[in-house]
Structure 1
């Protein structure tokens, strides 16, 4: 009996190990299968030319998100290429000059199979690298737009990249291997082939030149302020200008309108800050953050207005309702004491624009 019991245990243990081994092998196979599936799903089509070359301005795996397509009315502005036969499936134009360099448009009617463009029309533009003075270092950046004319809509199917394309002696040719499905292109009903075998392609090559003029706009804080005591205020009937004052490196005048201005006329005292002439250059705009105050001479709260404005089209900004006549007449409020009104302008921030050159 004991021997039979031991034999039964031995068989059970062996069977248990066998099950564990089968489970482990199956799990490893499953993991490998899942990993292979994931890696397969992560692969992306490469739409650009010359995969064997280093793509310097961007990586081809993320270029799809930067591709824009659509229909547009405007004709190509750089070069147009009309083909009246589709017996040949690969074409290239004569060189055309843009930005001091010679370029060639390449058209594959049945797709560039070497670049993964099978089943698609492929379009590229090539730069003549002999134009590089120093082939080891010189480079050219260009914006590219490719076109296919659609006779039905009288518009151009357009494809472009939102990024710029970098050309140098080692990367002379860029474009799209998958522009338009060949079936779509060759079906006469779609309008890309017309009058039998006629079709039209185009390209815009834009070589930007470095800017020669620029400007830098900045805003700096300020603690400059000017306090102005106006005597015999109740006897004033005309607008009153302060002496020329300096705030934030600029010259200004304060304008007080005792009778009020605009919607404040007859009810409020109005006040403005005016930029003196010749304090800004032509087309320059100056941004200012400023506070207007009527100081309370009874140690109570001041009357204050704050605003941010642009000086450019206008040289004068302010408030039409700084303080009411009723508050001035009420001596208990402490704004007009011994017929003296104290106003203040505090500059909190002002912009500066630097021009180059």
Structure 2
């Protein structure tokens, strides 16, 4: 099933990985939306050395023209220890779980905002329209249960000495990796050669990774020498498995922050082994598989 947002700009393909920093699961959503409270505020969670919380308006934020939509906001939860004149620049994403696909979707990707004493909350007033959200065929509200999430990255803070440099005209590097004798590959991790100015690698598990071993192939992007670098990468990338017969490649695209603590991003369930081995699909020809990557560096986060 495709996402109901698949034809709108700013909506990413669903991903398997859950949000890095916070999940908010709501049971009996209809009771919450019918209650007298206007919004629900989550517990505190930590990211980037600061305490945050989510505020969810389940039934229209009337004060900010959120009619017919669910509204969601990120707020700084604890400011008591911050010095006068503080500022925190943050890149954050909100997620919603499609329970039918078991994938997390991002709406209006990667919002960069400046938090300060006069503005301690940012978010999306029209996060998702209620008609789309409540339709069980879309997978967001199943058995009156839904799941929201957040990722919060502090990208510039005078107190942490970190700065984000976005690249105005980012270049894309391309790489193609042909793996021969697929049926003879061992049940282990394989790394491609390094490619691009920043030494990227493709990681490939021919029989799957972790809990998906034996049923899927798993493909990730990583950095060849990440632990030797003092900075992080904000990257857009696409991974393809080539359809060598029909020209209909299987591709996944996402944007992620690569760091020493999270050097790999990708897909544990990139493709089922049954689909890969189907000769009509064209992914495995003469026992050879072709994996391609397109990597665009959008920004660098360096210590200052």
Provide TM-score, normalisation by structure 1.
0.38
Larger radius of gyration: 1
Larger fraction in helix: 1
